[in-house]
Amino acid sequence: MEERYEYRTIRIERAAWRKIAEAVHGECADAVGREGGVLYGLWRGEIGFHNDEGVVMTAWPHRAEPDYDATDGLPSVVESTLERLVATVRPSEIEPPLDDGVYAHRWFETSEEHWPEFLELSEAAWPGFEGGFPGTRIVGLWRSLDTPPPTVRALLLTRYPTLAVWERSRPFEAERIPGVDEARRKFMRRAELTERTIVRIARLVAPR
């Protein structure tokens, strides 16, 4: 059985980010840990999110029974939505991201028919892509457990050192970067298999 993840989008009270960060990295992380899970990350929305929105992710190893209620009741959270995910070709093990920078949260929708090729193209393109943009890392690609077939909904989480690097990495950029051309061709083919996609940019909120 693959590792399970929880992706919770939160809306918070005005000017409550400090309180949220303390709660998530404090009692929330403790509660998740008691149930055998791991706090995977807290992100504060920057682009594509409202200023009072963010994301809390938890991870549940093979041995743990996911407790998706462990992140309920966070102080100053006025609204939240939950999506259950399963890891695919990345991450191969639970290793919460720690690097500062911007994180692109991109959701894809494709079909069950195209999903194997979608995965293959993604995995094959990543090494060249990461090598061409130092500091860039594909954190993971997860499939939603809450989207019934034949639609496949997937989350791609990518860390970039700066927003400028994210902009340089776009497939339609004319800049020639050694090792990246082949990755971009794979991404363009993946786009042909994609029914719709959306990306939002957020910054990791590390524990103090």
Vertex 81, ends 39 and 75: CA angle to 5°?
60
Q: What's the mean pLDDT in 42-56?
A: 97
Q: How confident is the model at residue 207 (pLDDT cuts 50, 70, 90)?
A: confident
Q: Are 114 and 189 in contact (CB under 8 A)?
A: no
- Binned at pLDDT 50, 70 and 90, residue 1 comes out as low
Encoded tokens for 3: 């590792």
Which runs of consecutive H residues, i.e. helices, occur in the chain?
17-23, 29-34, 115-132, 163-168, 181-193
Here the tokens at position 114 are: 């195209």
**Residue 162 backbone phi and psi in degrees, to 5:** -150, 165
pLDDT at 191: 97
pLDDT for res 208: 81
Q: Which residue has the tokens 């042909």?
A: 192
Indicate the pLDDT class of residue 179, thresholds 50, 70 and 90: confident
Q: Quick check: 130 and 96 in contact, CB under 8 A?
A: no
Output the pLDDT for position 2: 79
Q: What is the pTM of this model?
A: 0.96
In this predicted structure, the answer to whether residue 173 has a pLDDT above a threshold of 80 is no
Residue 185 · residue 176 · CB < 8 Å: no
- State which fold the 4-204 domain adopts: Alpha-Beta Plaits (3.30.70)
Strand blocks (E) in 24-179 = 38-47, 53-60, 77-90, 102-111, 137-144, 151-160
* pLDDT range class, residue 63, cuts 50, 70, 90: confident
Among the listed residues 202, 180, 25, the one whose alpha carbon sits nearest the alpha carbon of residue 102? 202
**Orientation of helix 181-193 relative to helix 115-132, angle to 10°:** 150
76-130: pLDDT as tens digits = 999 999 999 999 999 999 999 999 999 999 999 999 999 999 999 999 999 999 9
pLDDT for position 170: 86
